Homo-oligomer: A and B are copies of this chain.
Amino acid sequence: MDISNNSIERLCRVFGYLDILEKKDVEFVSSMELAEAMGSAAHTVRKDISILNITGYTRKGYPVSSLKKDLGNRLNLNKTRKACIVGLGRLGSALLDYEKFQEDGFEIVAGFDSSVNKLERIRTDIEVFPMSSLKEMIVSKRIELGIIAVPAENAQAVADRLVEAGVKGMLNFSPTKVTVPKEIVNVNMDFTNALRLIAAKLNK
């Protein structure tokens, strides 16, 4: 299927918003309302949805629950996926307890760190392990996603080990770009670059 990255990202956001509407028992939502919530345009929303061959109802909009279900099916968001966090410094341990992940269908089932010290001090409901058991745990717990929260200089090494252990996707919080085999999905969250982007846009 040829659906652009931008469309996918927008649709993922729509999915998130539908989740909110569903919890409020809203039955129908128009492309206009979705667009407003997303900060985009109504025709963009309609186009994105129509790419997936999902249709709404004239004069009523899209049925919230069914659209959410359909989007979820097409975008693979209907099943819970297991993830682990590597690197339990300030950021990593904050992510361990970020409840939103669970609510949204991403279950953090393990944390890893190379420092025994950190492992002992950490207070969380989630099991934490030394780096040496990374592969074993990823395999036995069937973890699909790895979240990298280690310093830049270790990011590539961690990515390599995650790949070797068999994760399918990685979310990389380190400011380094990591190189992974092309079948592995990798998304970067580079805080500094986000600030740079803001600075660069300030006087455009």
Contacts and interface: CB of A to CB of B under 8 A. Distances in A.
A148 B47 CA distance: 31
B177 A195 contact: no
Interface string A94-128: 11011011001010000000000000000000000
Contacts of A15: 196
B179 A195 contact: no
Contacts of A81: 195, 199
A169 B199 contact: yes
A204 B98 CA distance: 28
A75 interface: yes
A157 interface: no
This chain: copies in complex? 2
Nearest to A201: B185
Given A177-B39, A200-B8, A200-B77, A195 B93 contact: no
Interface string A120-153: 0000000000000000000000001100000000
Nearest to A75: B200
A95 B13 CA distance: 24
A197 B1 contact: no
18 contacts: A8-B200, A16-B175, A16-B192, A16-B193, A75-B196, A76-B202, A76-B203, A77-B200, A83-B195, A91-B91, A91-B95, A91-B98, A100-B191, A104-B196, A106-B192, A171-B198, A187-B194, A187-B198
Closest 10 CB pairs of A and B: A90-B94, A169-B198, A12-B196, A75-B200, A94-B94, A185-B201, A104-B192, A91-B94, A106-B195, A76-B199
